[in-house]
Amino acid sequence: MSQRILLARPHAFIVNEMRPFLLEAGFSPVKPESKVQLLEELGRPAQGIVISTAVSSNVEGDAEAVFRWVREKQPNVPVAFAGMTDARFMRLAVEQAVKALVHQPVITGAADYLAAARGHTRSGVFLFLRKDDLSPGAGRQVAMAALRAHFA
């Protein structure tokens, strides 16, 4: 049985590339079409949440606002962030999104996920995946393993 993953801030990259990646990993991605639908979906249990760091989304609100809504409704659910930029910018974008609500967040890419997450609660660890992480090859398998561990 596949596990429900909420695409909390859909963007073309999230829908076109992350959604098939999640399906391949054995998850059931759910894509809200608006803020109202997102808030309704947050009322249902999810195995994990994916938030896009893209500038735009069909759900109004930036990554920080969406993360706040997620924490209000599901404070302990693991959250991953996805974007199309380099690792340095992804780390900064995730830090910006979570800093107001999480003291000393652990922010990590797929390659370092297992070592970085060790000893921390999943709600305080934030995995980020970049478009390059989803490309065919060994990196994709590393990203899939990290995502499965994060949402386990």
Q: pLDDT band at residue 116, thresholds of 50, 70 and 90?
A: very high
The pLDDT tens digits for 59-111 are 888 999 999 999 999 999 999 999 999 999 999 999 999 999 999 999 999 99
Range of the domain at 102: 3-150
Tokens of 147: 């995502």
- What is the model's pLDDT at position 1? 45
pLDDT: which is higher, 28 or 56: 28
CA 106 to CA 115: how far, in whole Å? 11
Q: What is the CATH number of the domain that holds 45?
A: 3.40.50.2300
Alpha helices in 1-152 (DSSP H): 12-13, 19-24, 35-41, 63-73, 87-98, 113-117, 138-150
pLDDT: which is higher, 15 or 37: 37
- What is the model's pLDDT at position 2? 62
User: pTM (2 decimals)?
Assistant: 0.93
Q: What is residue 131's DSSP assignment? A: G
Q: Give the number of domains in the chain.
A: 1
